C-alpha cells in the first residue's frame, strides 16, 4: 500500500483524534440542547447555521489556499479553532453563546478542510484516489465510533452531566492539532499574485469545467434534502428510547461507516465513482423512507447500518471524484466551492426540517427527504461525465 504515504497517515490520525473529540459531543448535542431549552426549530437552525458557516468558509479558504499555493497553515489554524471551541460550549448556556461556540468549531472545519483534502489529492493519483480518500475517511470515522463510546461510558456513570463532556472533548482535539505540525506539504504554484476577496468565494464556478458543474449540481440537489443527522437521533429519542440507545445507534452507524469507507473507495476506483455515488443515494432513500414509517428498535438498528453504508459510499467518493475533474492547482477551490454551496443547501434543509418536525410531523421530515433525494439520484443517473 505505497499510496498510504507518511502524510496520508498523519492526516488520517489527526482526523481520528479530531473526530473522537467532535463525536463525543455529537450524539449528546440534541440531548444537551433540549436540556437547556432548545426547541426542534432552534436545533435545526443551529445545525443549519453551523454547517453553513463551515461550508461558506470552505469555499473562501479553499480559494485562498489555491491563490497563494499553501495548504498547511490552513490545516494548522483550522484544527486549532475547532479544539478551542470545545471548552467554549461548557462555559455558558445562553443561545447566542452556543451559536458562537458552534460557529467557531465549524469555521475551523471550513478553514482546514479544502486545504487538507488538496494535500490528500496531491499524495494520490487518479487510479488510487478513491482508496486514499476512503482510507482517510475510514480513520476519520473510526474516531467517530470511539467518541460516542466514550460518551456512552461517561453518561452511564454520570447521567445527564453533559457539560463535563465538552471539557473532556478538548483533550483529543488538542492532540490532533499538535500532530498537524508534523505534516510536510508539497509546494504548489500559486494561481495568482492578486489579493483574494470574500466576494470571489464562488467565482470558481465561472471558470470550472462543465463536468464539474454537472456533478456539483447533482450533489447540491441531494444536499437540499439532506438535513442534519441530529434529526435521526431525535427521531429515536422521540420514539421513547433512552439516551443509551440513541448513542448506541450512532456508534453502530459510525462503526459501519468506518469499516466500509475504504472498501467502497476501492470499489469506486474499480467500477466507477458515479456508480458508487448513485448506489449511496439510493441507500439514503431507503433509510429516510424507513425512518418515516418505522417505530421499532430493531428497525432503527437496521436503518443505521444502512446509513453507515450510504455514508461510506458517498462521502470520500464525492471528494475523490471532484478532485479528479480539476487540475491540482485548483483542487482546494473545487472542493471548497462545492462544500460551501452544499452547506448553504443543508442550512435550508435543516431549518425546513425543524419547521416540518414541529408543525407537521417527524415522519413528514423523512418522507420529504426521501422523495427529494430520489429526484437527485435520477438526475445523477442521467449525467454523462468523465471521471478521470
Name every residue whose Cβ is closer than 8 Å to that of residue 131 and which is 6 or more positions away in sequence: 3, 124, 262, 265, 266, 269
DSSP one-letter string for 59-98 = HHHHHHHHHHT--HHHHHHHHHHHHHHHHHHHH---HHHH
Domain assignment present for residue 303? The answer is: yes
pLDDT at 172: 93
Q: How far is CA 295 from the centre of its chain?
A: 27
Per-residue pLDDT for the chain (388 aa), expressed as one digit of tens each?
Answer: 677 888 889 999 999 999 899 888 877 777 777 777 777 677 777 776 777 777 778 777 877 888 888 889 999 999 999 999 888 877 766 777 888 888 888 889 889 988 898 888 888 877 787 788 888 888 888 887 888 888 888 888 887 777 788 888 899 999 999 999 998 877 666 655 444 555 555 667 777 788 888 888 898 999 889 887 878 888 888 887 777 788 788 888 888 988 888 888 888 888 888 899 999 999 999 999 999 998 888 899 999 999 999 998 988 788 778 888 777 777 777 877 887 788 788 778 888 888 898 899 989 999 999 999 999 999 989 888 775 5
Domain assignment present for residue 202? The answer is: no
Domain assignment present for residue 127? The answer is: yes
CATH number of 64's domain: 1.20.1250.20
Domain assignment present for residue 267? The answer is: yes
Number of domain units in the chain: 1
User: What is the SS3 assignment for 8?
Assistant: helix
* Range of the structural domain that residue 248 is part of: 6-182+207-382
How many other C-beta atoms lie within 10 A of the C-beta of residue 282? 17
Domain assignment present for residue 193? The answer is: no
Domain assignment present for residue 349? The answer is: yes
Residue 32's nearest CA partner among 313, 221, 307, 230 is: 230
CA distances from 114 to 45, 77, 101 (A): 24, 13, 21
Residue 149's nearest CA partner among 135, 136, 168, 163 is: 168
Domain assignment present for residue 37? The answer is: yes
pLDDT at 127: 73
Q: CA 23, 241, 34: angle at the middle one, nearest 5?
A: 60
Domain assignment present for residue 196? The answer is: no
Q: CA 172, 145, 300: angle at the middle one, nearest 5?
A: 145
Give the integer Cα–Cα distance in Å for 177 and 67.
24
Report DSSP state, residue 387. Answer: -
Q: CA 21, 160, 22: angle at the middle one, nearest 5?
A: 10
The grid cell for 287 is 433509510
Amino acid at each position: 500500500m505505497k499510496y498510504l504515504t507518511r502524510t496520508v497517515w498523519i492526516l488520517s490520525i489527526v482526523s481520528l483524534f479530531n473526530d473522537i473529540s467532535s463525536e463525543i459531543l455529537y450524539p449528546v448535542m440534541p440531548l444537551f440542547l433540549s436540556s437547556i431549552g432548545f426547541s426542534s426549530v432552534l436545533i435545526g437552525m443551529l445545525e443549519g447555521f453551523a454547517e453553513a458557516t463551515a461550508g461558506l468558509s470552505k469555499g473562501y479558504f479553499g480559494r485562498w489556499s489555491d491563490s497563494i499555493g499553501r495548504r498547511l497553515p490552513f490545516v494548522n489554524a483550522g484544527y486549532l479553532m475547532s479544539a478551542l471551541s470545545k471548552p467554549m460550549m461548557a462555559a455558558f448556556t445562553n443561545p447566542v453563546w452556543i451559536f458562537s461556540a458552534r460557529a467557531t468549531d465549524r469555521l475551523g472545519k471550513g478553514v482546514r478542510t479544502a486545504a487538507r483534502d488538496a494535500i490528500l489529492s496531491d499524495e494520490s493519483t487518479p487510479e488510487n484516489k478513491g482508496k486514499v480518500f476512503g482510507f482517510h475517511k475510514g480513520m476519520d470515522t473510526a474516531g467517530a465510533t470511539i467518541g460516542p463510546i466514550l460518551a456512552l461510558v461517561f453518561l452511564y456513570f454520570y447521567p445527564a452531566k453533559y457539560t463535563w463532556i465538552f471539557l473532556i472533548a478538548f483533550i483529543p482535539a488538542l492532540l490532533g492539532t499538535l500532530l498537524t505540525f508534523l505534516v510536510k506539504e508539497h509546494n504548489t504554484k500559486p494561481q495568482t499574485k492578486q489579493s483574494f476577496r470574500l466576494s470571489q468565494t464562488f467565482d470558481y464556478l465561472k471558470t470550472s469545467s462543465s463536468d464539474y458543474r454537472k456533478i456539483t449540481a447533482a450533489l447540491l440537489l441531494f444536499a437540499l434534502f439532506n438535513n442534519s443527522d441530529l434529526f435521526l437521533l431525535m427521531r429515536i429519542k422521540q420514539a421513547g428510547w433512552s439516551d443509551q440507545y440513541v448513542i448506541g445507534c450512532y456508534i453502530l452507524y459510525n462503526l459501519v461507516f468506518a469499516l466500509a469507507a475504504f472498501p467502497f473507495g476501492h470499489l469506486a476506483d474499480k467500477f466507477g465513482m458515479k456508480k458508487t455515488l448513485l448506489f449511496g443515494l439510493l441507500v439514503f432513500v431507503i433509510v429516510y423512507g424507513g425512518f418515516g414509517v418505522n417505530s421499532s428498535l430493531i428497525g432503527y438498528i437496521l436503518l443505521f447500518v444502512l446509513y453507515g453504508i450510504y455514508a461510506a459510499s458517498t462521502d470520500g467518493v464525492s471528494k475523490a471524484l471532484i478532485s479528479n475533474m480539476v487540475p491540482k492547482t485548483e483542487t482546494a477551490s473545487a472542493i471548497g466551492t462545492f462544500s460551501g454551496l452544499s452547506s448553504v443547501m443543508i442550512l435550508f434543509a435543516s431549518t425546513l426540517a425543524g419547521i416540518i418536525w414541529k408543525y407537521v410531523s417527524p415522519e413528514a421530515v423523512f418522507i420529504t427527504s426521501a422523495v427529494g433525494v430520489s429526484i437527485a439520484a435520477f438526475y445523477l443517473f442521467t449525467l454523462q461525465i468523465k471521471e478521470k
